[in-house]
Chains A and B, each alone.
Chain A
């Protein structure tokens, strides 16, 4: 039996799920970003030669590095929260606090990495 969607796109875009929804959608974007990157990366190293080198040049762009590190770090930290809460279901009561804690870890670590990436991009 197929499910039918009765929510229009405009309604979906106006959904205000606050913190938990933001982590959900960023987790999804991060996972998709990594899956696409790693898939292409494996194929590029398999092909090597000109095609592989052309694809590898993309990874050296600092914009791409900022994006992929955001994907990896957010997906890893948020995934750890999901794992802990799901394996110990009683902790669901503290979900909001866990999300704040997650940002408290993510923001400084990402800021340091972003600083290092941008500094080396500027030639420092």
Chain B
């Protein structure tokens, strides 16, 4: 028996908020892979191979912020706190926050089923996402 395709064409699925967030979750995961790889390669080019352990390289990769390499043997923090790395870290922060807060909404939707509760949660999640993004960007650029 020929198996019928279970995927509907895009025109029948519609393009709503859930669909957009579904694809955003997947694409932002790929983007985070790319940004972390970029951070790790950058660290190796800047001499991490001789100045820090692999655990510290990964710590830098997960968030390329110069305070994450302060405790290592890096001689000069200046190249690690350049505009490029602040920008990479901010991108990772924004993508990661949006991905993570949407994940929390997906989990909450499994337990909160009343329309009113979901509305309150959506409002709270937007407030959380914006405030964590702003606080995180402040920490990256100003501290």
Decide if B120 is an interface residue (CB 8 Å cutoff).
no
Q: Is the CB of B132 within 8 A of A5?
A: no
What is the 8 Å Cβ interface bit string for chain B, positions 26-47, against chain A (1 contact, 0 not)? 1001100100000000000000
Decide if B103 is an interface residue (CB 8 Å cutoff).
yes
Decide if A43 is an interface residue (CB 8 Å cutoff).
yes
Q: Is the CB of A42 within 8 A of B136?
A: yes
Q: Is the CB of A83 within 8 A of B136?
A: no
Decide if A124 is an interface residue (CB 8 Å cutoff).
no
Which of the four size classes fits the interface of chain A?
A: 20 to 34
Q: Would you call the interface of chain A mostly helix, strand, loop, or mixed?
A: helix
Q: Would you call the interface of chain B mostly helix, strand, loop, or mixed?
A: helix
Q: Is the CB of B26 within 8 A of A45?
A: no
B35 CB → nearest A CB, Å:
13
Decide if B67 is an interface residue (CB 8 Å cutoff).
yes
Q: Is the CB of B96 within 8 A of A38?
A: yes
Decide if A82 is an interface residue (CB 8 Å cutoff).
yes
What is the 8 Å Cβ interface bit string for chain B, positions 84-120, against chain A (1 contact, 0 not)? 0000000000001000110110010000011100000
Decide if B141 is an interface residue (CB 8 Å cutoff).
no
Further 10 A-B residue pairs, CB within 8 A, beyond A35-B101, A38-B96: A35-B100, A35-B103, A38-B100, A39-B132, A42-B139, A43-B135, A46-B135, A82-B29, A86-B22, A86-B26
